[in-house]
Copies of this chain bind each other. A is one copy, B any other.
Amino acid sequence: MTTDSGTGQRRPVKTVETAVGILELIKVRDGATLPELTDELDMAKSTVHRHLKTLENLDFVVKGDDGYRIGLRTLDFGIYARDQQSVFHEGKDRVEELADETGEKVWLITHERGRSVHLFSATGARSVRTPAREGNQGYLHQLAAGKAILASFSKERVRSIADEYGLPAETEATITDRDKLFDELASIRERGVAFNRGESIPKLNAVGAPITDSNGEAIAAISVSGPSNRVKGTYLTEELPERLLGVTNEIEINLSYAES
């Protein structure tokens, strides 16, 4: 028996889990036909079909020529959810400015249930292309911005997050050891910023700084990232952190007066 981590519940509504499983599979496969879904999910054709028709009727999936795709009703919910985040409104323009000034890729990241969520990104003139997209969820310990968020949490909370999701490696440089992570978080608290040297993508470096609320707890973080042959040395350790902290500080002040 595994530990009852997070919101794991005893009696979930399985039919809803099934429907979301179908949605997720369509997304992962970049579209799918009824037989494809039936095979992979190991369910009766008629059952999957009924789910698809229901989801289609709800505009969560659409049927095209080459099978079913994710419908744009999800965009309505997604954009709504992001718009609810006050840090998105305060941060959006600043993130774009930062990308213009530095020329690098800049991300605004938040956390939900111990995982990272990529809220918004801006692309500078020299930005690299990475697989990350807005809306993506991931592991906090693999990101500069994520580590900056973790550094604001209590040791107990970090431990519970590590218990729930583990510390899986994405590259050879990813921190997978708890003690190393705690050391790292301590040094982040000292410096005020977090660094990432190829821990999520090889040869990609980044700086991350937290956006904290009045209790000192991070509600989000911003990162600036670029290729390691350019983003290194004092540019990485001094110049970018200074700019970043200026931006996050500004956002924090605006947020403290914008709270409803």
Contacts and interface: CB of A to CB of B under 8 A. Distances in A.
A59 B83 CA distance: 17
Nearest to A79: B135
A20 interface: yes
A126 to B, nearest CB: 17
A58 B17 contact: yes
A70 B80 CA distance: 8
Contacts of A23: 77
Most buried by B among A6, A77, A112: A77
Given A7-B57, A13-B54, A54-B9, A81 B72 contact: yes
Interface string A42-85: 00000000110111111110100000011111111111111110
B133 A80 contact: yes
A12 interface: yes
Interface residues of A, number: 52
Given A20-B58, A110-B72, A133 B79 contact: yes
Contact of A75 (B54, B69, B135): B135
Q: How many copies of this chain? A: 2
Contacts of A77: 23, 27, 70, 74-75, 77-78, 135
Nearest to A50: B13
A16 B79 contact: no
A136 B73 CA distance: 8
A260 B27 CA distance: 18
A70 B82 CA distance: 9
A102 B200 CA distance: 41
Contacts of A7: 53, 56-57
Contacts of A169: none
A112 B16 contact: no
Interface string A13-24: 101110110010
A134 interface: yes
Nearest to A24: B77
Given A17-B54, A54-B13, A62-B113, A73 B137 contact: yes
Contacts of A230: none
7 contacts: A13-B15, A70-B77, A71-B81, A75-B82, A76-B136, A79-B135, A80-B135
